[in-house]
Structure 1
Amino acid sequence: MNRNYLFVGVLALALLSRCGNNNEEKANDTNKQKREQLPGNAKKEKAKTIVFFGNSLTAGYGVDPSEAFPALVQDKIDSLELPYKVVNAGLSGETTAGGKSRIDWILRQPLDVFVLELGGNDGLRGIPIAETSKNLQAIIDRVREKYPNVKIILAGMQVPPNMGRNYATAFRVVFQQLAANNHVDLIPFLLENVGGISHLNQSDGIHPNPEGHKIVAENVWKVLQGML
């Protein structure tokens, strides 16, 4: 009899222990699911958006999208675990007039930082600088009208000397003037240490190769990092 009672007692304890373990496992599984779900959702809710709005330089013409400087900037952000996502809104061949026409479409999505990289194609086509300035100003105004708290960075650009000294000088200065008048941050020259250097550009001599994009990303990061 004592043995039977002992056996029953041990069996009951084993069952209770198993039941407790099952409940604990279920609770752990539930908590695990919550942990897996909540950070992802929270990250999406907290993540801020950086939009690179530009032409073929931003789009990464001739290189893999992962090698273009906006993607390299995203890599830097991820390495620091900062809550920002980069949107590449570059379009090859885009002029400031074209950018002005499509900016409303881009502004359908909320954004926190806006990097404006347009004007290079205007310069190569010899478009009057007053027109380029007017279009860039219109884009800045539209962005601020839609998102008053947005942080804006203007990417300065230069044109080859064959466009004429006066035009080249005025073209370079217009970015400085726009940045000062609108109190936005300026990347003095997006292609600093890349433009005109053959081994950092593709065969066309205009668009950076992967190594060139790495330097461009550094030029951008020097200005952008302080905002993040």
Structure 2
Amino acid sequence: MKNILFFGDSLTAGYGLADAGNESYPALIGQKISAEGLSYRIINAGVSGDTSGGGLNRLDYWISQPVDVFVLELGINDLTRRTAPSTIYNNLEAIVKKVIAKHPKVKLALMGMQLPAFIPGTLVAEFRAIYQKLADTYHMALVPFFLDGVAGMRHLNIRDGIHPNAEGYGIIANNVWPVLRTLL
């Protein structure tokens, strides 16, 4: 059996869900994999509040086991801490390089994030460019906006308006699945 490691923050962990073990997007992807009769074990390494730097610090534990597919979803929490986009990129790149060094045949997927266009200055463009550049440089499958169709939709998020509810994760899983399916 092959391993798919979902490595991210609260959006990967399934923060706020009644049953994250069955309702988070890694769990829903696991259900799709099972329905197709594919032999993959889902590993959810999501940690609420994690940043790209925090992810880099905890990565070694998770890649000490075999990893066939690595799905990376980090970076949005860095902005709440006012981390520069260049630092976010450098941390995410270091994560990818470590994964490749440990597992040279790994297949990689990146869950991109976006900021609302109404934010002033160059931050929006700089942040958005992180994910495309990383995907292009390391030949990663890319979901350009992980929260596409869910962000800003009150009925698809829990009370905080930031984290998806079970229905929202269903939409996310349906958006992510075609990208991950190409790697399997």
Interval of TM-score (by shorter of Structure 1 and Structure 2): over 0.9
1:53 aligns with 2:37: no
Unaligned ranges ≥5, structure 1 = 1-46
SS at match of 2:98: helix
Write the deviation string for residues 2-42 of structure 1: whole angstroms up to 9, x where unpaired. Answer: xxxxxxxxxxxxxxxxxxxxxxxxxxxxxxxxxxxxxxxxx
SS at match of 2:71: strand
SS at match of 1:82: coil
Which residue of 78, 81, 91 maps to 2:47? 91
1:178 aligns with 2:134: yes
RMSD between aligned residues: 1.1
SS at match of 2:182: helix
Q: How do residues 108-147 of structure 1 correspond to structure 2 at under 5 angstroms?
A: 108-147=64-103
Unaligned ranges ≥5, structure 2 = none
8 A Cα contact 1:133 1:174, kept in partner: yes
8 A Cα contact 1:123 1:159, kept in partner: no
Aligned residues: 182
8 A Cα contact 1:51 1:113, kept in partner: yes
* CA spacing shift, 1:222–1:89, aligned 2, 3 Å: same
Q: Which runs of 4+ in 1 moved over 6 A?
A: none
Shift of 1:193: 0.4
Q: Which has the greater radius of gyration?
A: 1
The structure with higher relative contact order (CA 8 Å, sep 6+) is 2
Which residue of 56, 62, 73 maps to 2:16? 62
Write the deviation string for residues 169-203 of structure 1: whole angstroms up to 9, x where unpaired. Answer: 21111100111111111111100101111111111
Partner of 2:174: 218
Shift of 1:115: 0.1
8 A Cα contact 1:72 1:214, kept in partner: yes
Shift of 1:161: 4.7
Which residue of 57, 61, 73 maps to 1:101? 57
Shift of 1:162: 6.2
Identity among equivalent positions (%) equals: 49
SS at match of 2:101: helix
Partner of 1:21: none
Mean Cα deviation higher: 111-120 or 161-170 = 161-170
